[in-house]
Amino acid sequence: MSKLLLMAAGGTGGHMFPAQALAEAMLARGWRVKLSTDARGARYVGGFPDTVQIEEVPSATFARGGALAKAGVPFRVGAGVLAAMSKMRRDRPDAVVGFGGYPSIPALGAAWLMGLPRMIHEQNGVLGRVNQLFATRVARVACGTWPTELPEGVEGVYTGNPVRGAVLDRAQAPYIPPGDYPMAVLVMGGSQGARILSDVVPAAIAGLPEALRRNVRVSHQARAEDHDRVTAFYADHGISADVQPFFHDVPNRMAEAQLVITRAGASTVADVSVIGRPSILVPLAAAIRDEQTANARALVEAGAAIRIPESALTPETLADNITTILTQPEGAIQMARAAVSVSAPDATDRLVALVEDLARPKEDTQ
CATH, residue 218: 3.40.50.2000
Residue 366 within a domain = no
Answer yes or no: do 88 and 184 share one domain: no
Answer yes or no: do 199 and 134 share one domain: no
Of 131, 112, 116, 186, residue with least CA distance to 14: 131
pLDDT at 72: 66
pLDDT at 366: 42
Cα separations in angstroms, 259 against 48, 137, 151, 299, 336: 28, 41, 37, 14, 9
Answer yes or no: do 176 and 157 share one domain: no
Residue 365 within a domain = no
Local mean pLDDT, 10-residue blocks, the chain (366 residues)? 94 80 96 89 82 84 62 79 95 97 92 98 93 96 94 96 92 98 93 81 98 98 94 98 93 98 94 98 86 95 97 97 98 98 96 97 58
Answer yes or no: do 180 and 154 share one domain: no
Answer yes or no: do 106 and 153 share one domain: yes
pLDDT at 198: 95
pLDDT at 234: 98
Q: Residues 108, 95: contact at Cβ < 8 Å?
A: no
Cα 77 from Cα 83, distance rounded (Å)? 10
CA dihedral 322, 327, 332, 334 (to 10 degrees): -130
Domain that holds residue 318: 168-341
